Amino acid sequence: MRITSVETSVVALPFTMGGPHPLFAGRPWEKLEILLVRVETEDGLVGWGEAFGHAAIPATKAALDTIVAPLVLGRDARAIETLTRELMHATHLLGRNGAHLYAVSGVEIALWDLLGKRAGQPVWALLGGRERASLPAYASLLSYGNDLGLVARNTADARRVGYRHIKLHEVTREAVLVAKEAAPDAAIMLDVNCAWMPPVARDMAASLADDGLYWLEEPVWPPEDSHGLAGLRRHGIPLSAGENTAGMFGFKALVEAGAIDIAQPSVTKVGGIGEMLRVFRLCQAHGVEVVPHCPYFGPGFVATLHIAAALCERPLVEVLWLEMEANPFDPWVRARDGHVAVPKGPGLGCDPDPAILARYLAAPPVRTEAKVAA
């Protein structure tokens, strides 16, 4: 079943986050942007994917429109493993991580949506999972720039609406203590986004050792310093990482260094659902838990629901703590009482609402089509 078109579009959604909007990659972050990938096959069936994301969207979109889309036109949409393998090999000189790989991820997710639609099965069923109505979620608070009042207020608010696990994007022990006080019966995680070189990270891990963190995420700069990360495990805090890790072999380096307790592959970054599967198998073989990274709100988020439902022993879905005005993939991208519902429809089970999609389009979609013989 040949692929006849690949279309990219960006929706920009107004949102609030319980505090001032932060900078993201040095730019003001005023709207929540989602890069959508729509793949159509010759029988008119349509699949939806999402490619990472945020400030990288212009670069990822260029990679999609100019490199990845032309390479997949005319290919069999059902042969996902073969297609992605050949696509990655054909372009590996362009880089094994970053915008180009995010672009591949977006198309790959759309192919799984198509596969499920064609089979009349949800993706979790294709992955061998059983039906689950919902999964527990955690509130992933955005950075409040160490404003402890905002950390406390938003932690308490997240607990009040039903989250039992709450993650901070702050870099101080004080923020952790304030959050624990604001929600004493919640599990608190701290994500510092690679803030510290190993010597500082070791001091910070020692100071946090008795604070009962559920996990400490990406404490070491740079993220590929697997041995620097491994050096922190003696402090006894569960360590998590992986959102910046390049594919299964990147995770192999982390796992073999004994660097992590929890792997966090990101489906819109790592290469799509197939590469997620490879990371899961690797981690299973080494006793490392997988809790996917998914701070996004389109088909990538929904793909993560399917993956977590099918493959995670203790699913815990990351939901950014923010409020969107509307989202084309409502209601599947929102948590309720600390849980997220899992779609039951074929494929990802969540085609976008065309009216909401049209209302928030940031620019006209770009379509790459197969040439039709005259």
The site that binds Mg ion (CB under 5 A) totals a number of residues, namely: 1
Residue 93 identity: L
Residues 176-205 within binding reach of Mg ion (CB under 5 A): 191
Distance, C-alpha 295 to centroid of its chain: 5
For the bound state, the minimum distance from the C-beta of residue 138 to Mg ion, rounded and expressed in Å, comes to: 12
For the bound state, the minimum distance from the C-beta of residue 129 to Mg ion, rounded and expressed in Å, comes to: 25
Is residue 111 within 8 Å of 77, Cβ to Cβ?
yes
For the bound state, the minimum distance from the C-beta of residue 201 to Mg ion, rounded and expressed in Å, comes to: 15
55 contacts: CB under 8 Å, gap ≥ 6: 24, 25, 26, 27, 29
Is residue 6 within 8 Å of 367, Cβ to Cβ?
yes
Nearer to Mg ion, 40 or 243 (CB): 243
Nearer to Mg ion, 64 or 151 (CB): 151
For the bound state, the minimum distance from the C-beta of residue 303 to Mg ion, rounded and expressed in Å, comes to: 18
Nearer to Mg ion, 295 or 352 (CB): 295
Nearer to Mg ion, 40 or 191 (CB): 191
Residue number of the CB atom closest to Mg ion: 191
Nearer to Mg ion, 56 or 110 (CB): 56
DSSP β-ladder status, 187-191 and 339-341: unpaired
For the bound state, the minimum distance from the C-beta of residue 301 to Mg ion, rounded and expressed in Å, comes to: 15
How far apart CA 270 and CA 193 sit, in angstroms, is 17
For the bound state, the minimum distance from the C-beta of residue 243 to Mg ion, rounded and expressed in Å, comes to: 5
Burial of 222 (0-12, 13-18, 19+ CB in 10 A): exposed
DSSP-derived 3-state class of residue 283: helix
Which residue, among 88, 73, 10, has the nearest Cα to 42 in the 3D structure?
73
Nearer to Mg ion, 60 or 244 (CB): 244
Two tokens, residue 248? 């299964």
Cα dist. 342→122, 218, 334, 335 in Å? 10, 28, 11, 11
Asked if residue 318 binds Mg ion (CB under 5 A), the reply is no
For the bound state, the minimum distance from the C-beta of residue 19 to Mg ion, rounded and expressed in Å, comes to: 18
Nearer to Mg ion, 91 or 244 (CB): 244
Burial of 65 (0-12, 13-18, 19+ CB in 10 A): middle
For the bound state, the minimum distance from the C-beta of residue 202 to Mg ion, rounded and expressed in Å, comes to: 20
Distance, C-alpha 96 to centroid of its chain: 18
Nearer to Mg ion, 33 or 191 (CB): 191
Q: Where are the beta strands (DSSP E) in 26-185?
A: 27-28, 31-41, 46-51, 134-140, 165-168
Q: Which residues bind Mg ion (CB under 5 A)?
A: 191
